[in-house]
Amino acid sequence: MEKVFTRPKSMTDKPMHFCPGCTHGVIQRLVAEVIDELGIQEDTIAVGPVGCAVFCYDYWDVDFHQASHGRAPAVATGVKRVHPDKVVFTLQGDGDIAAIGTTEIIHAAARGEKITCLFVNNSIYGMTGGQMAPTSVLSQKTTTTPAGRDKNQIGYPVKLTEMLAVLDGTAYCARVSVHNPANILKAKEVIRKAFEVQLNKEGFSLVEILSTCPTNWGLPPVEAVKWLENNMIPCFPLGEYKVAGEVQR
């Protein structure tokens, strides 16, 4: 019988620790599929964050650096400068990349660092138990915004992909989502494109991936998918923001 579905080669067989209904595992798988398809498993060095994805090295079978909170783009810069011919990418959550690590991501992009950053945005701090994230949307209830995010008190969500698109060092950036099959397929295409931009030495590339967090949103998985669609996508419109060095919108 023909095998039509199997674990990507660059994935380990370790069971994932992610909560039920969390789409993080989908993202890890998509990246592994792209690594396999591009045939770069032996040439890839990944850099992980602090946050829910802190154990992502358990699931990817590639050389790996565990960075401190927010600093993955700096660590990746160090790696890439030593190994300019390897594929270097980071996986970072919203707190990691858009709060504590804002400096590192902006300057890695501004330098046109030839790395790829994958930014998982679930609009909440998952690992620490549901606190407000830099990407929590207005009125969103979290453990540190119990009455909902109030723009007069704590301001607005950070739109990192839009911010990075205007930097000359950014060759490619896009926002995708993995809340349904159509978007998952689109996300994979975009992740692949971001890696190709790096392989072609065009410059910095980033993919923001909207992801669910049923546990900390306090919703059943199916409701979480709807919440993402109704609350996150209006705030964080999907699409390519920079292609071939041209700002798209």
Partner 1 sequence: MGKVLMKGNEAVAEAAVLGGCKYFFGYPITPQNEIPEYMARRLPEVGGTFLQAESEISAINMVFGASGSGARVMTSSSGPGISLKQEGISYLAGAELPCVIVNMVRGGPGLGNIGPAQSDYFQATRGGGHGDYRLIVFGPASVQELVDVTIEAFELADRYRSPVMILGDGILGQMMEPVEFKTAKIKEGPDKPWATTGAKGRKRNLITSLYIVPEELEKHCLKLKAKYDEISANEKRYESYFTDDAEIVLAAYGTTARICKAVVDRAREDGIKAGLIRPVTLWPFPDRPFNEAADYARAFLTVEMSNGQMVDDVRLAVNGKKPVYFYGRTGGIVPSKAEIYAEVRKILEGGAR
If we measure between CA atoms, which residue out of 234, 233, 238 comes closest to residue 173?
A: 238
Q: Residue 112 and residue 81: Cα distance in Å, rounded?
A: 12
Name 124's bridge partners: 132
57 touches partner 1 (CB under 8 A): yes
If we measure between CA atoms, which residue out of 18, 62, 25, 16 comes closest to residue 195?
A: 62
Q: Residue 200 CB: number of other CB atoms within 10 A?
A: 12
Q: In the structure encoding, which two tokens stand for residue 206, read together?
A: 């980033």
Q: Which is nearer to partner 1, 136 or 205 (CB)?
A: 205
Nearest distance from residue 50's CB to partner 1, in Å?
Answer: 9
Candidate ranges 79-87, 161-169, 174-182, 205-213; the one touching partner 1 (CB under 8 A): 79-87
Candidate residues 68, 139, 200, 248; the one interacting with partner 1 per rule CB under 8 A = 68
Nearest distance from residue 76's CB to partner 1, in Å?
Answer: 6
Give the HSE-up count for residue 79: Cα atoms under 13 Å, Cβ half-sphere: 25
47 touches partner 1 (CB under 8 A): yes
Our CA angle for 196, 110, 235, nearest 5°, is 80
Q: Which is nearer to partner 1, 83 or 201 (CB)?
A: 83
**Which residues, including other chains, have CB under 8 Å from residue 89's CB and lie 6 or more apart?**
31, 44, 46, 47, 76, 115, 116, 117, 118, 195, 198
43 touches partner 1 (CB under 8 A): yes
Residues 93-112 that bind partner 1 (CB under 8 A): 103-104, 106-107
Residues 2-41 that bind partner 1 (CB under 8 A): 41
Q: Which is nearer to partner 1, 79 or 209 (CB)?
A: 79
Binding site for partner 1 (CB under 8 A): 41-45, 47, 54, 57, 61-68, 71, 74-83, 86, 103-104, 106-107
